[in-house]
Amino acid sequence: MKTSMKAYVYVSLKKSVLDPQGKTIHGALKKMGYKGLEEVRQGKYFELTLDGGLGREEAQTEVERIAREVLTNPVIEEFRCSLAD
């Protein structure tokens, strides 16, 4: 029986890349009175549902391939994947 599987891909700007959107959010939060924030960075987050035709390891490989080849711009971004249990 095939059960679908969830995979998560988190894409964020590389540390060396300026993140104006994050800076804007940080500024807004400070102005609104939230304390204790040092930095805010924003990224993207993808939730992939796999149809279960792949094994766990294949799924991991496939998701990493999608993240690397399609979802991430390697010049300015980096990604992190995880498979739900």
Residues near its own copies (CB under 8 A) are 4, 10-12, 22, 25, 28-29, 32, 34-54, 59, 62, 65-66, 70-71
Q: How far is the CB of 75 from its own copies (least distance, A)?
A: 19
Return the structure tokens found at 80.
């992190």
Write down the least CB distance from residue 41 to its own copies, Å.
4
* Dihedral Cα 56, 68, 71, 43, nearest 10 deg: 100
Q: 5 with 83: CB under 8 angstroms? A: yes
- Least CB distance from residue 49 to its own copies, whole Å? 4
